[in-house]
Homo-oligomer: A and B are copies of this chain.
């Protein structure tokens, strides 16, 4: 699944440590696939998944909008050429000073999930559009969804009434079904509650003009996932069954879905060993781990496909770990990963599907290991 463009780049460029290479062609293809799956839906790219300037600039050219998590991400999107009107500040947790700065930069869409946040928005971004985020359960998602974001339907109605009272535009409802959501029906379940809130608010004279269906669209790692078309079909079916053909504007916020499979990391085998003579499994230590790019292996949540051009022998299960002196820097142990039995120290491995949530997740230099190097091709 690693593209020829990435392999060619890696052949031409030697690096000392691990490096991530992102292929823009794959991002372009993914964007078009989602556009085709949901033609009338606006796509807000979740900048946090991979804020590389080249990725942002490509998506600007393709006509994408942007979902940002912080004032710095607002600035990154603007720098890449995005218009302020195409940026939605989707984090429900914002300092008032950051809302104010975003407003000065022209941002007009802000998320909230409690009346307290609405008050900040009213003071710092008078007249802005407010999206209220509802709490969902995240069943079917491979990356854990906590109760951190969103509120229950009663609070959501309060939030929107409060927004109207304070002169804001209570224009949208949003939810998120959980990252790497492998069940296309997840949106259907979440929409039930959203539609209830929609009708209660309509009774109050608050017309919801836009539904933000969030992200969660998966990337293919080790296992097959449903296609963008499957998600599109189920989401449209769910919307039609609730609203008929006159449903509100819709927005999706893919991050992983657009860039996950666009990247591959080259890493080097630093050590291969066994803990005891009777140890059935060997330990393979790479120069990349939880602290310099692969944080999403936490609890073995995301399972990257790992291949090697070296070692052509039979694949055997191996425990995989990173290079730091930290005990938790083990990638796959409960479910070992399969690598050629004749893999050797110094051999390279390719870790596929690493375009999202890797480079920016890397630590500034834990144990003295530098952050992940990134190349966009």
Contacts and interface: CB of A to CB of B under 8 A. Distances in A.
A244 interface: no
B91 A325 contact: yes
B274 A95 contact: no
A21 interface: no
Interface residues of A, number: 81
A325 B114 contact: no
A168 interface: no
Given A274-B114, A287-B95, A73 B364 contact: no
Interface string A142-172: 0111111111101100000000000000000
Contacts of A210: none
Interface in A38-86: 46-48, 51, 68-73, 76
B275 A155 contact: yes
Contacts of A95: 268, 270, 287
A360 B97 CA distance: 27
A96 B269 CA distance: 11
Contact of A366 (B154, B271, B326, B360): B360
A327 B114 contact: no
A272 B71 CA distance: 20
A150 to B, nearest CB: 7
Contact of A367 (B73, B116, B149, B155): B73
Nearest 4 A-B pairs (CB), nearest first? A72-B368, A114-B273, A70-B368, A152-B276
